[in-house]
Amino acid sequence: MTERDGTSVENAADAGAIGQAGAALLRGGTVPALAAGAVGAAVSAAWGVHAAVAFAVGALLAVAALAAGPLLLRASRDASPPAVTAIAMIGYAGVVLVLGAAFLALAPISWLSADHLAVALVTVTVAGLAGQIRAVTRLRVLAFGSAQDPQVKGPAAPRTGDAAQSSRQAGR
């Protein structure tokens, strides 16, 4: 079954499922990361405004960097499994490098607390990754076929008389 532009309806449905999975992964990492950022900024306020601002800046940088992973995976959805794995590894290594460079650039700023910035980058990143891991374990994306495909195709196997005995005894 095809539409006017030549794309199949099945491929559109699969792309929709992949898009929903990517959105779930993005949301699954962003929500806990933002929550960790809000809590951390509130706790950092006990050390002063500069500490709270530093934590908030670090949290926002970490959330933005964590969004790159699901977006890269969505962009590579049609690639081979080894390519997707390589892109994921490069994406997560890139997150580490970007956050390290952000810390090196912002730490010398005197009105930002470097300690709170560092804690925010680590804490929010870990919270976001934990949320992404949790989201991945709950995704239900078919790797092969579609939900309508039967498990086994072909002629039915001949009956050998090996049916479960409990079903025969139930009628006695």
Q: pLDDT of 40-89, one tens digit each? A: 999 999 999 999 999 999 999 999 988 887 788 777 878 888 888 888 88
pLDDT of residue 162: 56
18 within some domain: yes
45 within some domain: yes
pLDDT of residue 151: 55
Is 60 exceeded by the pLDDT of residue 106?
Answer: yes
Tokens of 127: 């919270």
Number of domains within the chain: 1
The pLDDT mean for the chain works out to: 78
Looking at per-residue confidence, does 56 or 112 come out higher?
A: 56
Is 90 exceeded by the pLDDT of residue 23?
Answer: no
What is the C-alpha to C-alpha distance for residues 95 and 129, in angstroms, rounded to an integer? 11
pLDDT of residue 16: 59
pLDDT confidence tier of residue 11, bands split at 50, 70 and 90: very low
147 within some domain: no
**Are residues 34 and 121 in contact, defined by beta-carbon separation less than 8 angstroms?**
no
**Most confident of the ranges 19-33, 65-79, 120-134, 136-150:** 120-134
Is 70 exceeded by the pLDDT of residue 149?
Answer: no
* Counts for the chain of helices (H) and strands (E), in that order: 5, 0
38 within some domain: yes
111 within some domain: yes
Structural domain containing residue 17: 13-142
- Beta-carbon count within 10 A of 154 CB: 6
22 within some domain: yes
Is 90 exceeded by the pLDDT of residue 136?
Answer: no
Q: What is the DSSP string of 82-107?
A: HHHHHHHHHHHHHHHHHHHHHHHHHT
Looking at per-residue confidence, does 159 or 27 come out higher?
A: 27
- Residues with Cβ within 8 Å of 12's Cβ and at least 6 positions away in sequence, in order, are 3
125 within some domain: yes
150 within some domain: no
